[in-house]
């Protein structure tokens, strides 16, 4: 299997499959902080989307081009002024929310540019994280693979935090999928879920 085999990618990144399940075939998608373009490529191959990524890193921009996905080099913290209002069906922020400096402004921008938004992030309320903090250390794990001194993550949150934030920001949550690895978590998600994926739109 190639590194870009959709099945293999879905296994490696469970949030990909969750995101793809919400996206109708042929939709237009903007992926913020798109990394090497794997998600866009996955969505193109499985959902036939018309997609663009935004990425700041030089090496990741090259990786996107190699992956054959459209990528616009830009800094998310300076906003999405290059994109017209409601120009995308979905604006996705996959595993990037926690590294954004101006979170409120970006979420508003997502809902300006997109008809709906999708966000995935590592749940800081996951029980293993809580135990590490209780034991006196910042959590380091597969989902949070950084030391406190070299992490790009400046705004980690729990499911509760994010949902409170959405209420204040007048963001209407349409769907939520909480996962631990490949498995969906239904019971006590803020405790047992390591990754959360939300689908949302602006409050009518």
Partner 1 sequence: MNNSIGIVSAQRAHFDTPLVFRSGAVLPRYELVYETYGRLNSDSSNAILVCHALSGNHHVAGYYADTPKNVGWWDNMIGPGKPVDTDKFFVIGVNNLGGCHGSTGPSSIDPDTGKPYGAGFPVVTVEDWVESQARLADLLGIKQFAAVLGGSLGGMQAMQWSLSFPERVRHVLVIAAAPHLTAENIAFNDVARNAILTDPDFHGGDFYQYGLVPTRGLRLARMLGHITYLSDDAMADKFGRSLRAGKLGYTYDIEFEIESYLRYQGDKFAAYFDANTYLLMTKSLDYFDPARDFDGNLDKAFAAARADFMVMSFTTDWRFAPERSREIVRALLHNGLNVSYAEISSAHGHDSFLMQDEHYHEVMRTYLDKIWSEYPL
β pairing state of 88-94 and 195-202: unpaired
Q: Of 87 and 108, which CB lies nearer to partner 1 in the complex structure?
A: 87
State in angstroms the smallest separation of the CB of 24 from partner 1. 17
H or E segment and range at residue 121: strand 114-122
- Residue 47 near residue 77 (C-beta atoms within 8 A): no
Sign of the C-alpha dihedral computed for residues 200, 172, 188 and 121 taken in this order: positive
70 or 169, CB closer to partner 1? Answer: 70
- Phi, psi for residue 50 in degrees, rounded to 5: -95, 110
CB nearer to partner 1: pick between 14 and 37:
37
Q: Would you say 74 or 163 has its CB closer to partner 1? A: 74
Question: Residue 27's closest CA among 2, 58, 57, 48?
Answer: 48
Contact between 112 and partner 1 by CB under 8 A: the answer reads: no
Find the binding residues for partner 1 in span 12-71 (CB under 8 A).
Answer: 28, 50, 52, 58, 61-62, 64-66, 68, 70-71
Residue whose structure tokens are 């690895």: 181
**C-beta closer to partner 1: residue 47 or 177:** 47
> Which positions from 63 to 92 touch partner 1 by CB under 8 A, shown as an x/- string?
-xxx-x-xxxxx-------xxx--x-----
User: Do the beta carbons of residue 39 and residue 13 sit within 8 Å?
Assistant: yes
Told to check if 191 binds partner 1 by CB under 8 A, we report no
Contact positions toward partner 1, by CB under 8 A? 28, 50, 52, 58, 61-62, 64-66, 68, 70-74, 82-84, 87
């Amino acid at each position: 299997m190639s590194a870009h085999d959709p099945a293999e990618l879905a296994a490696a990144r469970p949030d990909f499959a969750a995101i793809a399940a919400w996206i109708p075939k042929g939709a237009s998608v903007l992926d913020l902080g798109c990394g090497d373009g794997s998600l866009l490529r996955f969505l193109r191959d499985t959902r036939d989307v018309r997609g663009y990524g935004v990425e700041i890193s030089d090496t990741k921009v090259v990786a996107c081009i190699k992956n054959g996905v459209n990528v616009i080099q830009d800094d998310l913290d300076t906003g999405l002024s290059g994109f017209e209002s409601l120009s995308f069906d979905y604006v996705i922020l996959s595993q990037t929310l926690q590294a954004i400096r101006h979170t409120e402004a970006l979420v508003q921008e997502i809902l300006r540019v997109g008809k709906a938004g999708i966000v995935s992030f590592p749940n800081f309320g996951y029980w293993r994280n809580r135990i590490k903090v209780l034991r006196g250390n910042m959590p380091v794990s597969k989902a949070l693979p950084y030391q406190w001194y070299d992490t790009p993550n400046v705004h980690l949150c729990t499911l509760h935090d994010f949902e409170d934030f959405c209420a204040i920001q007048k963001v209407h949550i349409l769907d939520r999928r909480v996962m631990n690895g490949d498995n969906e978590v239904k019971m006590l998600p803020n405790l047992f879920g390591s990754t959360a994926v939300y689908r949302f739109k602006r409050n009518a």
